[in-house]
Each structure stands twice: as structure tokens, then as C-alpha cells.
Amino acid sequence: MSLDIKKFSDVLRMHKVSVTASRMKIFETLLQAERPLTNSEIVKRTPTVDRASVYRNLELFAELGITETMLRGWTPLTELAEPFRAHHHHMTCESCGRMIEIEDHELEEVLGSIVARHNFKLTKHLVELTGLCAQCQVS
Amino acid sequence: MSLDIKKFSDVLRMHKVSVTASRMKIFETLLQAERPLTNSEIVKRTPTVDRASVYRNLELFAELGITETMLRGWTPLTELAEPFRAHHHHMTCESCGRMIEIEDHELEEVLGSIVARHNFKLTKHLVELTGLCAQCQVS
DNA sequence: GTGCTTGCAAACATTTTGCACCATA
DNA sequence: TATGGTGCAAAATGTTTGCAAGCAC
């Protein structure tokens, strides 16, 4: 069994929810995704699981911190969160759609200090940059 | 006429789209909003304008940079962008729902340096922090 | 006057719910 | 075997579209 799948079932057990075949299938769909997916893409890519169950479980995954959601237009996109993917943020080119992943230590530090200043306890954070990539600025 | 409304019609004219009563009404709804609103809240709060026109114009506003959109769960929320509001980000308490606005110079600088490093030209950016506010950590 | 905008109504898509049945722990 | 999870079907929401009429420029 793959390491990710083991980690996944551990997270479910840790939260005392059942490890079911449907949840596995949905998780595998997310694992195999080459980019963040819309809900209906996830439904399509998990044909053996009912729509309703996909929705119920995507909501569960978000609560348990297994997934993260971001926005493209008015459409929410979901991808796996840590510890299933490296921690990162996105920089999206609005011309060609290319999505660059960002990992930046200093950025994380600044966010930490803002949060501390407000006595806030952070559970997650999202940073999305939008603009034109180097290539599209030229052409 | 209020300054904001003048600024708004200037933006429309600058992009060569008509200044119409519907667009004014929708803009006023956003101006008066005490927090970011869902699409259907905007529809409800702008009863004299047809749903379809609200959607069409919210899409237009987003394109012209008049509004910004963020995500709560799977629901997109819209609020006015600069120059109609001060530049800020959000820190949301997942227990009480309180939303704190963040303005932080250092944060903006770090983002700027990341973007420059990738030869990216930024048109907009979004930072969303989620966790527990000071009060909810205690109770 | 011309072309962009609107309202209306219908189509379409997405998300949620209730309930009986089934599987996991 | 008790509880929680699932599929199914229907309902509720949310979003988009075509078209004729109206308004901004």
C-alpha cells in the first residue's frame, strides 16, 4: 500500500471516522490530479462513487484538513493539502493559465508574525497571486 | 454625488462600458455591505435589478478589477476592491466567524520580492488566514 | 440611430436532503 | 451489532442563455 494512502487512512482513524472504499477512491482521484479540480471534475473522475457521497466527503476532507480549496472565477478548486503535498502557494498567469507553485520561508515567517500580533491561532492559510508570467509579458 | 460613485463611473467610462442604473444599484449594494457577500445576497439586496443582470455585472466588475472574490467553504464572496476600499487581507476565525482585516507593509514587500524573482507581473493577490481568534481560544 | 444592456423565461448545472439499505469498527 | 456511510431519487439553489425591447452615448 502506498505511503500516502496509509497516511490518509491514519488521518481518518485519528478523527474516528470510517475508512471506506468511497473515501479511498475520492482520495486517489485527488492524488492523481495534475492540478486542482472542480467538484464536478472530481465527481466525473470518481465514477464508481455517487455524487452525493463525493460532496459529503469533500466537505469532510476540508474539515479534517486533508484538502484545500481555492477559487478560479466563481468556481472552487480542490487539491490535497499537507501532509499529502508539500506546503506551497500558487501564482497563476491570467493569460496562459500556467500555475507556478511557491514555497517561501520568509513569507511564512511574516504571516506567522502577523498572526502572533493578533493572538490568533492559525489553522490554515492561503496565498494566491495572479498576474502575467514572464513569457506572456513578452508575447 | 458621492466620491465613490464618481470614481466608479469613471472606471466604467475608462473601459468604455455604459454607466447604467443597474450597475449603479449593484455598486451601491456592495458599497453598503458590512462584509463580503455571496452572489445570492447581492441579488437579494438589489431587488430592482434582475438576477441575470446582477450575475453579468458581477462578472464584469471582477474583470475590471472593481471587485475581489474570496471563498468561504465552497461559496464565493465578493467585496469591493481598491480603490474603493483600503488594500487589506482577511483573517477569519473558524469558530465565531469574525473576520479581521489585515494591512501589513512587510507582507506586501515579501510578496513583491517573490513575484520579482519569477519575473512575474502581479495584477492582484489574495491572502487568507484561518484559525481561532484570541477570544475563541479561551472559551 | 446604433449597439450595448436589460428583463424575462427557460434551460442548465450544482449542491443538498431524506430515507432505506449496507459496511466498518 | 450499532453507528456511521452509501446510493438513489428528488428537491432546492445557483448560474447561464436567447431574445425582444429599452437605454446610454
Chain B, window 23-62: residues with a beta carbon less than 8 angstroms from a chain A beta carbon = 39, 62
Alpha-carbon span B134 to B136, nearest angstrom: 6
- pLDDT score, position B1: 60
Cβ contacts of A74 on chain B, cutoff 8 Å: 39, 69, 76
Q: Model pTM?
A: 0.81
Whether residue A62 has pLDDT greater than 90: yes
Confidence of residue A46 (pLDDT cuts 50, 70, 90): very high
Confidence of residue A1 (pLDDT cuts 50, 70, 90): low
Confidence of residue A26 (pLDDT cuts 50, 70, 90): very high
Cβ contacts of B94 on chain A, cutoff 8 Å: 123
Alpha-carbon span B96 to A60, nearest angstrom: 20
- Mean pLDDT of the region B9-38: 96
- pLDDT score, position B72: 84
